[in-house]
Amino acid sequence: MVPTTYYVLLSAALFVLGVLGVLLRRNAIVLFMSVELMLNAANLALVAFARERASTDGQVLVFFVITVAAAEVAVGLALLVAIFRSKRTTDVDEVHALNG
């Protein structure tokens, strides 16, 4: 059996890559994909822990995460489309009306 720690390390690496994507990319869609990557990394860790504890609950939690992620992606992409309609861009840096 593969030790849980390997999975956790992989999960951490994927999560950090997702963070980098969020911080460095400006294309809103890619940024959004990076968020999905982070969600998946977390899911992976959850499933690995569920395996270690031989419990079903962790997997059910991941199932809920995936469901909510689907809803989130739908709403998020709808927002992107709405923003694109008013700003004609998907560059997140172009949307900074909140600056102090």
Partner 1 sequence: MELAIFIITALIALVGAGAMIMSRNAVHSALFLLLNFAAIAILYLLLRAPFLFAVQLIVYTGAIMVLFLFVVMLLGAERAEDERDAIAWQKPLAIGLSVILFIEALIVSFRNGFAALPELSAEAEQIGAPETIGQVLFSKYLLPFEITSIILLVAIIGVIVLNQRRKTVS
Partner 2 sequence: MLESVSFIIPLLPLLPFLGFVANLLFIRNERSAGLIATATVGVSFILSLVAFILFAMGGGSRPYLDLVTWYWINTGALIVPFGFLYDSLSSTMTLLVTGVGTLIHIYSIGYMHGDKRPVRYFAYLNLFVAMMLTLVLADNLLLLFLGWEGVGLCSFLLIGHWFERKSARAAAVKAFVVNRIGDAGLLLAMMAIFALTGSLTFYSQTHPSGEGVLPGFLDSTSSFSAIFNFPGQPMVLATAVTFLILIGVTGKSAQFPLLVWLPDAMEGPTPVSALIHAATMVTAGVYLLLRVEPLLEMSSGTRAWILWIGALTAIIGATAALAQWDIKRVLAYSTVSQLGFMVVAVGLGAYTAALFHLLTHGVFKALLFLGSGSVIHAAGDEQDMRRMGGLRKALPTTFWTYMVGALALAGIFPLAGFWSKDEIIAHAFEHNIIVFGVLFVASILTALYMGRQIALVFFGEQRDHSYHPHESPKLMTVPLIILAVGTIIAGVINLPGSHFLNTWLQPVIAEEAAPFGTSEIVLAIVTTLIGAAAFYLSWRFYNERAARLRANSNDPIYRGTGAIWEGFNEGWYLDGFYKAAIVQPFRSVANFIAQVFDPRGIDGLVDGIVRSLNGASNGIGRIQNGFLRTYALVFLIGVVLIVGYFVAVNR
| Contact positions with partner 1 (CB under 8 A) in 71-100 | 71-75, 77-82, 84, 89-91, 93
Sheet strands (E) in 1-89: none
**Angle formed at CA 43 by CA 37 and CA 45, multiple of 5 degrees:** 110
Burial class (CB in 10 A: 0-12, 13-18, 19+), 32: buried
Nearer to partner 2, 57 or 94 (CB): 94
Q: Is 42 in the site for partner 1 (CB under 8 A)?
A: no
Does the footprint of partner 1 cover residue 35 (CB under 8 A)? no
Residue 42 near which of partner 1, partner 2, none (CB within 5-8 Å, type-dependent): none
According to the binding rule CB under 8 A, does residue 54 interact with partner 2?
Answer: no
The helix (run of H) or strand (run of E) holding residue 55 is none
* No. of helices (H) and no. of strands (E), the chain: 3, 0
One of 8, 19, 47, 69 touching partner 2 (CB under 8 A): 19
Can you give the binding site for partner 2, defined by CB under 8 A?
A: 19, 22-24, 26, 31, 92-93, 95-100
